[in-house]
Amino acid sequence: MRHGFKAQAERRAAAARSSLGLSAIERLDPWKFAESLSINVIDLSDLDLPPEDQTQLLVRDPDSWSGMTLTEDGVKLIVLNPKHSPARQASTLMHEIAHIDLDHVPATVNLSAAGLILLSDYNDEQEQEADWLGGALLLPEVALLHHRGLGKSPAEIARLFRVSVDLCSWRCRMTGVEKRLAHRSARGLR
């Protein structure tokens, strides 16, 4: 990731909360956030795909994809996999919003004969940035410090923010929240 991006992502997460009238430690609802950005969110079954394509993506191989962003005539649309858990959909939605917010352009795009996007790939740096910003939007560092500092477990925080325990644990670890709290504890501070 480029220098300073992680701090920039935390500032963007704070600005997103502020724009919705939320405090820095409150849960940001990904669907309301998308709406505030004029991004439409749907699941794959809402698209007019041939039945065999829907069966492939929703029945035979639902784990092969999580979400995608489509743009047509300036309208942004994020398609989510309805077979995934609400926590996974929230993470996917914020990841896709992050790509949009960061003006990422896919490195490759494959189109069907009808002109539908079948696959788009972002480069590794863009994927890392979208992961980080998406995570910061869902679980900002300041909120993790606050709730972990109150003694809440990653599982309790994950329930509060409606995300997976894995995402919460990853954010606590990668932001250094766990190390800072351990350091404070060792010094007898709260």
Per-residue pLDDT reduced to its tens digit, 118-135: 455 777 888 899 999 999
pLDDT, position 89:
96
What count of Cα atoms within 13 Å lies in the side-chain half-sphere of residue 62? 14
Same domain, 118 and 24: yes
pLDDT, position 110:
52
Per-residue pLDDT reduced to its tens digit, 151-179: 999 999 999 999 999 999 999 999 999 88
Phi, psi of 59 (to 5 degrees): -115, -60
Same domain, 121 and 99: yes
- Pairing verdict, β 117-121 and 108-111: antiparallel
Cα 132 to the chain's mean position, in Å?
A: 8
Per-residue pLDDT reduced to its tens digit, 47-104: 888 888 888 888 888 888 888 888 778 888 899 999 999 999 999 999 999 999 998 8
Domain count, the chain: 2
Cα 122 to the chain's mean position, in Å?
A: 15
Same domain, 117 and 164: no
